[in-house]
Structure 1
């Protein structure tokens, strides 16, 4: 965490009420810059562990964060577009979940404003996710994984500074 900050790799296990792993999220170490589009961020989501159900893939963009939510067969199902400025004093920061063609907003991932003290003195974040009710359950799990990637890329703190630009530059 201290060396790589928001670009560090991770493995996340999501368990059910009986502590059985039901979803595994893997993020390898990759650099994070718009100047090298060959090594953009990617997360693999497996369920049951070992069986891929989908991917969150960062799309190349200079100004706006952009991601694709893909099936296990690497077919894009949804897109995610974020704002150019990822900080908002006293308000939520919203990433739009879009249809495959990017034309229709079907949901959102929002970093919710938690209050001045919590925002200033902790690295804890609250996120809200909305997506279509009829979306495949596997793609819902991949959309939740996208919220973790967005949090790590744009809202993690390294030392005492925000990494607002690290996800793009």
Structure 2
């Protein structure tokens, strides 16, 4: 498997040693190698700026059994959160149980309603390795998120509803190859204790960098649906 990902590598199953990544995987991300589903959910941060609800976002990533594996906290200005909750830019450091940063996500300033001019996007880095970018590529009639590799080649797509669903109805995004043929998995948006929860299902042999981009996709959707 080469460093540059190709659609063939993403969409076809691999076995044996071919499924092992050819780059260093931080210990805090190794659980993804054997995972077929994870959950990303946001919890409120309180204790500062109690005069309003402009709290930074805090996320947890759990394994299939619900055990928290990663924790990420937004870094941004109070003013930007207050004035532009849906579109402001920010950074998130995802740390493992030892407090080591294993993923750095950077969201750019972007508006989901005018994605043609300034599409919301999140780039993902681990250490010195750039994993890729997730960007909104369409809004009507369906929401489309494009997952691109480190050299900006589209690899996967998420297709789902363009508006937030009722708290009693799950919003389902289908995970597909960039050609949109077949289905590789799904991302389900669920209402969880007052906050949206994102359950993500994918093949076990999906490239680890794409799995990390799926985590970023949940964060991006959380901003779009804010």
Name segments (4+ residues, structure 1) moved above 3 Å: none
Aligned residues: 146
> What residue in structure 2 maps to residue 144 of structure 1?
215
Match of 1:134 among 205, 217, 220: 205
Match of 1:6 among 73, 80, 86: 86
CA deviation after TM superposition for structure 1 residue 85, in Å: 4.1
Partner SS, residue 69 of structure 1: strand
Q: TM-score, normalized by length of structure 1?
A: 0.79
CA deviation after TM superposition for structure 1 residue 113, in Å: 3.1
Would you say 1:21 and 2:92 are equivalent positions?
A: no
Does the aligned pair in 1 maintain the 2:159–2:174 contact within 8 Å?
yes
CA RMSD of superposed structures (Å)? 1.6
> What residue in structure 1 maps to residue 159 of structure 2?
81
Q: TM-score, normalized by length of structure 2?
A: 0.60
How far apart in 2 are the matches of 1:51 and 1:38? 28
CA deviation after TM superposition for structure 1 residue 104, in Å: 1.3
Decide which structure has the larger Cα Rg and report it: 2
> What residue in structure 2 maps to residue 164 of structure 1?
none
How far apart in 1 are the matches of 2:168 and 2:111? 31
